[in-house]
Copies of this chain bind each other. A is one copy, B any other.
Amino acid sequence: MGRVVVEVMPKPEILDPQGKAVVGALPRLGFTQFSGVRQGKRFELEVDGEVTPEILAAAREAAATLLSNPVIEDVVSVVDAAAVPGEATGTPVSA
């Protein structure tokens, strides 16, 4: 079973209230290393067979039309999960 990962972020010129909330909370928890935070979305689209170039093209179209709002968001990546090291298994990162 294949998986396509789509990543969407708010455009740089768009205010990102969720990111602002996170950047305000970080120093209160002792994380003073970070000067800015943007929060976007990550989708995993599952397909029954292999991720073919046609599937990737459909995912790119879906990303541009349904998964993102092109007025306020950019699609930053549409990739076959199997092509990204560490993404294939979806193994959680331990803290």
Contact = CB atoms under 8 A, between A and B. Distances in A.
Q: Indicate how many identical chains form the complex.
A: 2
B74 A92 contact: yes
A62 B92 contact: no
Interface residues of A, number: 50
Interface of A: 4, 7-9, 19, 22, 25-26, 29, 31, 33-48, 54-55, 58-67, 74-78, 86-87, 90-93, 95
Contacts of A9: 42, 44, 90
Contact of A95 (B39, B47, B60): B60
Nearest to A36: B46
A5 to B, nearest CB: 9
Contact of A31 (B7, B46, B62): B62
Contacts of A25: 66
Given A60-B95, A93-B60, A66 B33 contact: no
